[in-house]
Chain A
Amino acid sequence: MSESASLRFGLPRFDPRDDQQIEAEIDDELTFHIEQATREFVEAGQSDDDAKVNALARFGDVDQVKAQCKRIALEERIMLQRINLVLMIVVLLAVAFVSVQMYVTQKHNTLALQAIVADLAGMKVAATQASRDGKVTILGAVSRPGLYPIPKVGDYTLADVLVDAGPSDRAFEVKLFRRVHGERTLFAQETISMLHEMDRLKEQIVDGDRVVVAPVLNYQPAQSTSHMGFVYVDGSILRPGAYALQAGGNMTVSMLIKAAGGLKHSPVQVQVTRFDETGNPQMIVDSLINRASDLNQSDVLLQPDDHVILSAAGEPK
């Protein structure tokens, strides 16, 4: 049974004896042989010593035979040891491979988790932005009263609402009403005499705000006569025309755009032309913007008689 099994798998039969047992059995077997041979010679009439010598001579090299027999008995063990070694190496390699794989997977998972966390954070941001999504009502002395959506991204201040709606008077009073704990209350109030003063209106607009604009009649600007001159704005702008430059007013291009009601199109090419002492026009600004605040370095301080031309992209200049 075990024989056929070992035959089938081509494996040597398992020898349960240990090394010393094997050696002892070989010794026993060979000794028996030499004893028998010696006895044979003695029975043939030889002396004990002669018989022993002859028996050994006929046997050959006892130690060599012993060694050969031992090697045969143990060869399977040596082979098993080799197989064990190979198996151990294979197992070690497998373990190493699995470890590396696990490490890589873990790393990958960690990265994926980080990505998910980042995504969630992004979604949270989006959610807060979405929560800013809402509408503001603007009423009163404006060109376009009504409901304005609050953009999802970026700032949206009281000044922005006014630019969108376009105040119809140079001087006006703006009131911002907001629901606080369910009750509509007056949240901010400002009187604007010069349009560029709108930069003061920095309140962030939230959903449900209501802005009411009232004209200030008979408004007497403190230095109404001390204006330095006019600048001119034309093109893709809500209220083109001449605007007075107040002394010490420091009006920039973006302020002028806001004062003139804001851009009609987006993007637009902004060109500012200034006349030098000899009356030659010099173009001091020429840039493409999406909104007034895009001007940055090109947001120069205006001087009397500057011309600001806004042309919608693609429109002939």
Chain B
Amino acid sequence: MARKKPPELLPGTLDLMILKTLAVGPNHGYGIARRIKQTSDDVLHVEEGSLYPALHRLAKRGCLDSEWRSSESNRRAKYYRLTRKGRTKLKAQTRNWAQLTTAIDKVLSARTAGKAATKGWA
């Protein structure tokens, strides 16, 4: 199957995106997937199936609660909701993410200066 592979996500990013999406309100897996796609302007092309193991793992850790409810289409769907623990985790991970990206930004912006220095030295 020659299909263009979506860009690899950093580990833990999917969890963070799920938690953030559910911070708005309870949703089912399909809803979460669609929302991530919309908010990321289709840049993060998550293989939708990979969402479910992540959801189940978060539920198992107590970050999410799940409940079967009828959806807008009047079909039974499994809805996920953030727990208090999930909220705490979201906060912590958001902070970590910010720190990480700032740090990476710094490293990446320092790269040009490094190159210049190397040139000068050479």
Asked whether A and B interact, the reply is yes
Question: Which residues of A line the B interface, CB within 8 A?
Answer: 3, 6-7, 12-13, 25-26, 28-30, 32-33, 35-37, 39, 57-62, 64-65, 68-69, 72-73, 75-76
Interface pair A3/B85, CB less than 8 Å apart: yes
Nearest neighbor of B78 in chain A, beta-carbon distance:
A29
Number of contacting residues on B, CB 8 A?
Answer: 23
Task: Contacts A28-B78, A72-B56, A73-B56 given; indicate if A37 touches B30 (C-beta within 8 A).
Answer: yes
Interface pair B76/A32, CB less than 8 Å apart: yes
Question: Which of A28, A30, A32 has the largest count of B CB atoms less than 10 A from its CB?
Answer: A32
Enumerate chain A residues within 8 angstroms of B52, measured Cβ to Cβ.
Answer: 26, 29-30, 33, 65, 68-69
| B14-22, B42-50, B99-107 - interface stretch | B42-50
| A-B contact list, 21 entries, CB within 8 Å | A13-B62, A25-B78, A28-B76, A29-B28, A29-B77, A29-B78, A32-B28, A32-B30, A32-B78, A33-B28, A35-B75, A36-B73, A58-B48, A59-B48, A60-B48, A62-B49, A64-B49, A65-B53, A69-B52, A72-B60, A73-B56
Bound complex: CA of A35 vs CA of B48, how far in Å?
13
Question: Which residues of B line the A interface, CB within 8 A?
Answer: 3, 28-30, 33, 47-50, 52-53, 56-57, 60, 62, 71, 73, 75-78, 83, 85
Enumerate chain B residues within 8 angstroms of A13, measured Cβ to Cβ.
Answer: 60, 62
Interface pair B47/A60, CB less than 8 Å apart: yes
Bound complex: CA of A13 vs CA of B64, how far in Å?
12
Enumerate chain B residues within 8 angstroms of A65, measured Cβ to Cβ.
Answer: 49-50, 52-53
A33 contacts which of B3, B30, B76 (Cβ < 8 Å)?
A: B30
Closest A-B pairs by Cβ, 5 of them: A60-B49, A65-B49, A68-B53, A60-B47, A36-B30
